[in-house]
Amino acid sequence: MNKKVIALAVAGALTAPAVALAQVQIGGSITAFYYQHKPENPSTGQSGDILELSEPEMYIRGSEKLGGGLEVWFQCTSSLDGIVGGASAVANSGWCARNSGIGMRGGFGNFFVGNWDQPQKLVFNAGRGWWGGTNAFTGGSAVLLNGGSASGTANPVQTVVASAAIAAATGAATTITNNPGTFFRRQANSLNYHSPNWGGFSLQAGYSANNESTGIPEASSLTPRMYSLAGQFRSGPIYVGVGYEGHTDYNPANVGSGTAAAAYNGGDDTNITAVVGFQMAGFSVRALYSKSEYETTNSTSLDVDGYGIFADWNISGPHTLRLQAAEVSDTSGSSTVSVGSYKGSAASTCAGGGASATSCASDTGAKLYGLAYSYALSKRTMVSAAYTVIDNDSKAAFSKGKTAATSGGKQTTTGLILQHRF
């Protein structure tokens, strides 16, 4: 990210002639969308023009050299949604709500704690590039391939509430917050390590603290944790990255509880994301593969596979053409319980019901397409025109996030983008 740097030099020599140098940097970015959203679902929302910002942020970074190649650093990245969204957007954002942390770095690498994008997400981001992950205009790839996003959230918190629908079977339902079904996470309360660059290869690792334990009875078998690991290789025109993330006791199938889900108590969910990229003579292309597995009960699982292709072609000078295409396949596995928009094999998920369980997971995938043209006004400012569409299979209902989706329906967006980095 390009940035304007404000350097504050603070020198002091107490008992030695060495000078300690502290540096603070301020910068950020603003991306404004104005687009036509067409949900093709008149029962839940109108088509209309939408004006909003996408992940606008301002960061403050500071560091101090401690000697011997050791340095302490901090970063506070805050949202700027109030520029367009007004008071309600300000209330929903806040200081340091985006990538923020404090750590130590040196020849050993970088160890830090904070609220940060996890290694699996870093690999996914290298694949999608300019395109959004989950925003309602240029995003969608992480919605299909990673189950959406969890930004600035900790491990899921489980709350037992009364439920008339399943009271006869269980007496209660369990609801879970913090998006337990997604692997596209900026994890709060996380411990992180990023290695040095070893001849183009680097390693990233993340692990969540168990702050939630204070609200979990000692007798409970649940200990929610997140852990993530990635290896990346960059050399010349080649990029290869593999990311892995695991969730323990996140229980994603308990969201929107049913009898089977409410009886579930524990389990592990995993995702593997792999990206291969090549860049040459103004052209860049990345291929991405994602595989997720959710343990939805003590003996069943829901498997999700998908892939994406992302390309950028700098035609000449300031002109760039961009393309994205992604597809999530039909779900598989023995689960009869759904996770988010991923459908299990229960008959109730079949159109019309009554079909055999083995056929109910068919036609549960979706496709995403996007085309954009960008014109660079300067090194820090760019305008773009873009079109994206999510096209659901007959039993799928993936949404771009503004309105609910109709099973088998489409959602399209067309509009303009202004991006500025400072």
377-403 pLDDT per residue, tens: 999 999 999 999 999 999 999 999 998
Residue 354 has pLDDT above 50, yes or no: no
268 residue type, one letter: D
For residues 183 and 328, give the distance between their C-alpha atoms in angstroms, rounded to a whole number.
15
Residue 173 has a pLDDT of 55
Cα dihedral 374/378/381/384 (nearest 10): -10
Tell me the pLDDT band of 272, cut-offs 50, 70 and 90.
very high
If you ran DSSP here, which 8-state letter would residue 406 be given?
Answer: P
CATH number where 87 lies: 2.40.160.10
Which residues fall within 8 angstroms of residue 273, CB to CB, at 6 or more apart? Answer: 120, 123, 124, 127, 145, 146, 183, 241, 242, 243, 244, 288, 289, 290
The verdict on residue 5 lying in a domain is no
Q: How many CB atoms lie within 10 A of CB 48?
A: 12
**DSSP secondary structure string, 156-224?**
--EEEE--TTTTTTTS-EEEE-S-TT--EEEEEEEEEEE---BTTEEEEEEEE--GGGGGS-TT-----
Q: Are strands 70-79 and 109-117 parallel, antiparallel or unpaired?
A: unpaired
pTM for this one? 0.89
The verdict on residue 9 lying in a domain is no
Q: What's the whole-number average pLDDT of the chain? A: 87
Residue 172 has a pLDDT of 52
- Between vectors from CA 142 to CA 82 and to CA 36, what angle results, nearest 5°? 55
Q: Are strands 366-376 and 319-328 parallel, antiparallel or unpaired?
A: antiparallel
User: Which range has the worst mean pLDDT, 126-140, 148-162, 263-277?
Assistant: 148-162
Tell me the pLDDT band of 181, cut-offs 50, 70 and 90.
very high
Residue 297 has a pLDDT of 86
Structure tokens at 347: 């008959």
Residue 336 has a pLDDT of 87
Tell me the pLDDT band of 46, cut-offs 50, 70 and 90.
confident
Residue 252 has a pLDDT of 87
Residue 7 has a pLDDT of 39
The verdict on residue 13 lying in a domain is no
The verdict on residue 196 lying in a domain is yes
List phi, psi (to 5°) of 160: -90, 125
Tell me the pLDDT band of 135, cut-offs 50, 70 and 90.
very high
- The residue count of the chain comes to 422
* Structural domain range at position 344: 22-421
The partner residues of 385 in beta bridges, in order of sequence, read 373, 416
Residue 118 has pLDDT above 70, yes or no: yes
The verdict on residue 348 lying in a domain is yes
The verdict on residue 17 lying in a domain is no
Higher pLDDT, 103 or 298: 103
The verdict on residue 2 lying in a domain is no
Which residues fall within 8 angstroms of residue 242, CB to CB, at 6 or more apart? Answer: 123, 230, 231, 232, 272, 273, 274, 275
User: How many domains does one find in the chain?
Assistant: 1
Could you give the C-alpha distances from 331 to 124, 323, 346, 358, 394, in angstroms and in order? 21, 26, 12, 11, 13
Please state the three-class secondary structure of 79-145 as a single string: ECCHHHHCHHHHHHCCCCCCCEEEEEEECCEEEEEEEEECHHHHHHHHHHCCCCCCCCCCCCHHHHH
For residues 300 and 264, give the distance between their C-alpha atoms in angstroms, rounded to a whole number.
10
Tell me the pLDDT band of 352, cut-offs 50, 70 and 90.
very low
The verdict on residue 38 lying in a domain is yes
Span 50-102, pLDDT tens digits: 999 999 999 999 999 999 999 999 999 999 998 998 887 776 677 899 999 99
Residue 258 has pLDDT above 80, yes or no: no
- Residue 139: which of 154, 150, 149 has the closest Cα? 149
List phi, psi (to 5°) of 215: -105, 10
For residues 60 and 24, give the distance between their C-alpha atoms in angstroms, rounded to a whole number.
7
Residue 187 has pLDDT above 80, yes or no: yes
Q: Left if phi > 0, otherwise alpha if psi is -120 to 50, otherwise beta: which for 181?
A: alpha
Structure tokens at 51: 């004006």
Span 212-247, pLDDT tens digits: 888 888 888 889 999 999 999 999 999 999 999 999
Tell me the pLDDT band of 114, cut-offs 50, 70 and 90.
very high
For residues 369 and 12, give the distance between their C-alpha atoms in angstroms, rounded to a whole number.
56
